[in-house]
């Protein structure tokens, strides 16, 4: 490992933003660096409150992210922003108005903004995003905002990555995607109707509230758990969170105080009910599982000559052997 | 394995649609059934031309799927439709007009429609979808249309599942998501501007054509390959496909003939250039890799008591050990 990395890690922990930026770039480019950085930083992680902000293009996610960050700064909380949304103005596609507002963040040492949109493929949160969040967590940011675009796998991923998932809607949008909304409601801890000054905002709030009460959970969310004892499940059902629907007008700076209040309440709720630790455990399980699968696969593949693998998959493509036969051949290969 | 399954498989291969529907339901519900069915059917697969239809909600994917199926039927091609889009009218959310048109398909024995939207989570194509496509392939359908919603992981998945990926746009939509479009262009074999009677259609076509010519591939697509020799790479660069941009008005039945022509041309192109086999090999690699990972993980997890796993992940959640230490403990566990 580069001796520079350890120097940067030390500098980062004493507050150097330049070292932080360098570490993140290194983590993005090299999985071995990511592993070393996370090994070193792990004991310092677990403090940051990770927010997932998601919604369809046009709902105003980036404006809301900007205004929410400004509101959190007024409360003396430091904020890291990771924009995974390829349509995000944080990536460089901002309208002039957005840029002016974002300028208010840019000069603030209590804010760190990173766009990862150009790195990823369409959709999906990468393991890189997860590594970058750990670095920002260790760097001491109080709140991390991950902005992703809906609708797709990214939303599901964000719900397992974030402590608090915020789904943003806007009036007059997405009325043809009720079924998707039903899916979105399954992941939301907080619902926001942005652009609340527009026609149809009140109706949108009402329809969301109605969907919440019609849902299987009756307007509350029992956080999904992978490892759970009956006692834990019972505790969880007693500790449901009533999903709030909040109106905001990001570009006019309205509703942000309500939103920030709910975000902080949700953190308290998670911690008091033990769900914070549950979510951390669930995330550990998912991340470890992905790493274990990567390593096991690499071990198997390393044993088999590439030429033979090519032959096996060509035989499958030509229907000479079936997929399952190929799997058996690869798993049972002995030199 | 149920003896019924083998009976159904025999009936399916002699044309029974009822047996086909039963097999698909069984495949969806039980991975062991899926394995047995695919083992049995594998030699009969590989003939169907799989189309991926994707685009943002509101672009008119379902209407286009319906009209495209009707056009292909006029050419005496049989069509299987798999709707993975949770907002698809095929799932039950159709407007009246859609339903009337879809009715024209419903009575036709040369068409089979299956909605998988209710089974999946948001986004992402499941291994179940892949298994269902193999069953439909073996059942002898000439063309399989998989309808997914954009933008997200599902689009990336569809590009690796389909032989021909069709991305649908509409005028006046998504003008704020240029960056997403850039991603979509990477997966498209054919671009469709639907609702071409609306204002802005011509401009949309022009802007897409411009993006194609500005793109890294200069308006052509060199199909991604995972296993490739230098000779294959060179062959591929000589065999580029110029991505067409086609205007359609699905609800008026216009442009479908052009679209069908391009789809069939693309199949010929893939076959003549050897890319058809390449895509089959790439798919075999991906599907086998997923199965191998599942099995290896299951083997490892079966060796470790659940209580110990819970302890390890709790220790990670509490930052007593790091994620990588947990991975080592699990991989090196010996009873």
Across the range B144-169, mean pLDDT stands at 77
Instruction: Test B180 with A35 for CB contact under 8 angstroms.
Output: no
DSSP 8-state assignment for residue A31? H
| Residue A211 distance to chain B (closest CA, Å) | 16
| Residue B43 distance to chain A (closest CA, Å) | 5
What are the tokens at A300?
């198997």
Instruction: Test B324 with A284 for CB contact under 8 angstroms.
Output: no
Sequence-ordered list of residues with C-beta below 8 angstroms from that of A28, at least 6 positions apart, any chain:
A116, A119, A128, A132
DSSP 8-state assignment for residue B254? B
Pairing state of beta strands A245-247 and A241-242? unpaired
Helix (H) or strand (E) holding A52: strand A49-55
Q: What is the pTM of this model?
A: 0.74
Each residue's pLDDT tens digit, A31-75:
889 889 998 999 999 999 999 998 877 788 888 999 999 999 999
The winner for highest mean pLDDT among A15-24, A125-134, B151-160 is A15-24
The residue written with tokens 């024995």 in the block is B109
Model confidence at A118, in pLDDT bands (50, 70, 90)?
Answer: very low
Each residue's pLDDT tens digit, A134-165:
999 999 999 999 988 665 455 556 777 899 99
CB < 8 Å to B57, chain A: 56, 151, 174, 176-177, 180
Pairing state of beta strands A220-221 and A241-242? antiparallel
Each residue's pLDDT tens digit, A193-232:
999 999 889 988 888 888 777 655 555 554 443 334 445 4
Beta bridge partners of A144: A50, A80
Beta strands in B101-225 (DSSP E): 111-115, 143-149, 164-169, 190-193, 220-221
- State the complex-level ipTM: 0.78
What is the pLDDT at residue A254?
A: 95
Per-residue b or e along A291-318, where b marks 16 or more CB atoms closer than 10 Å to that residue's CB: bbbeebbeebeeebeeeebbebbbbbbe
How distant, in Å, are the alpha carbons of A333, B200, B211, B254 from that of B195?
Answer: 54, 10, 20, 10
Across the range B161-190, mean pLDDT stands at 73
Q: How many CB pairs under 8 A join A and B?
A: 236
Residue A229 · residue A274 · CB < 8 Å: no
Each residue's pLDDT tens digit, A248-279:
999 899 999 999 999 999 999 999 999 999 98
CB < 8 Å to B288, chain A: 313, 316, 323, 326-327, 330
Q: If you measure CA to CA, which chain A residue comes closest to B159?
A: A122
CA distance linking residue B153 with residue A154, whole number of Å: 7
| Residue A74 distance to chain B (closest CA, Å) | 30
Identity of the residue in B152, B280, B296 whose CB atom sits nearest the CB atom of A151: B152
């Amino acid at each position: 490992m580069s001796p520079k990395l350890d120097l940067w890690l030390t500098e980062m922990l004493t507050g150097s933003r330049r070292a932080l930026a360098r570490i993140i770039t290194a983590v993005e480019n090299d999985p071995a660096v990511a592993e070393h950085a996370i090994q070193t930083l792990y004991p310092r992680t677990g403090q940051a409150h990770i927010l997932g902000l998601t919604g369809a293009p046009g709902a105003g996610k980036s404006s809301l992210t900007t205004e929410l960050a400004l509101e959190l700064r007024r409360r003396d909380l430091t904020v890291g922003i990771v924009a995974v949304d390829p349509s995000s103005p944080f990536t460089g596609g901002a309208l002039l108005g957005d840029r002016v507002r974002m300028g208010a963040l840019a000069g603030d040492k209590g804010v760190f903004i990173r766009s990862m949109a150009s790195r990823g493929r369409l959709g999906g949160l990468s393991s890189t995003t997860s590594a970058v969040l750990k670095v920002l967590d260790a760097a001491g940011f109080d709140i991390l905002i991950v902005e992703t675009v809906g609708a797709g796998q990214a939303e599901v991923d964000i719900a397992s990555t974030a402590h608090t998932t915020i789904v943003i809607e806007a009036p007059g949008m997405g009325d043809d995607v009720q079924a998707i909304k039903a899916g979105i409601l399954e992941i939301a801890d907080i619902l926001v109707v942005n652009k609340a000054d527009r026609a149809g905002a009140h109706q949108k709030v009402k329809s969301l509230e109605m969907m919440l009460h019609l849902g299987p959970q009756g307007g509350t969310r029992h956080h999904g758990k992978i490892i759970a004892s009956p006692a834990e499940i019972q505790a969880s059902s007693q500790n449901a969170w009533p999903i709030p629907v909040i109106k905001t007008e990001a570009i006019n700076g309205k509703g942000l105080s309500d939103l920030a209040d709910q975000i902080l309440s949700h953190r308290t709720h998670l911690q008091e009910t033990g769900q914070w630790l549950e979510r951390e455990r669930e995330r550990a399980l998912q991340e470890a599982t992905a790493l274990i699968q990567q390593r096991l696969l690499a071990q198997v593949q390393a044993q088999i000559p590439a030429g033979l693998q090519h032959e096996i998959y060509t035989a499958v493509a030509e229907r000479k052997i079936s997929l399952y036969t190929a799997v058996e051949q690869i798993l049972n290969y002995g030199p």
